[in-house]
Amino acid sequence: MRTAKELFAELNSFDENRRIEAKSASAVGKSMMETVCAFANEPGLCGGYLLLGAKRTGIAEDGRPIYEPENIENTDKIQSDFVAMCNSMFN
């Protein structure tokens, strides 16, 4: 398993890709579930990383986006809502 620091480094080096997607995570919603479905259904991908609390804050001189961690309030509620939504959609 990779650390959040490693994931942010990859995100800032290569942007979002087939293996990593960034979300602000103020609430669990359709966009998160679409990402989970995409990771689950991509043949040979073996999942991916949904990085919650990642905010796109600008563009580097070379054109790459810059992401920074953002404070997430109510992390327990977001986690609980995420699990509940996965259970209702995928079971």
pLDDT confidence of residue 30: 86
Task: Give the residue among 60, 2, 63 at the shortest CA–CA distance from 19.
Answer: 2
pLDDT confidence of residue 90: 78
Q: Residue 32 belongs to what H/E stretch?
A: helix 30-41
Specify whether the CB–CB gap between 8 and 70 falls below 8 A: no
Hey, what are 34's tokens? 């679409």
Distance in angstroms (rounded) separating the CA atoms of residues 64 and 56: 11
pLDDT confidence of residue 9: 94
Specify whether the CB–CB gap between 47 and 39 falls below 8 A: yes
Average pLDDT per 10 consecutive residues for the chain, totaling 91 residues:
92 92 83 90 88 92 92 89 88 73
**Model pTM greater than 0.95?**
no
Correct CATH for 4-90 of 3.40.50.2300, 3.30.950.30, 3.30.200.20, 2.40.50.150? 3.30.950.30
pLDDT confidence of residue 42: 86
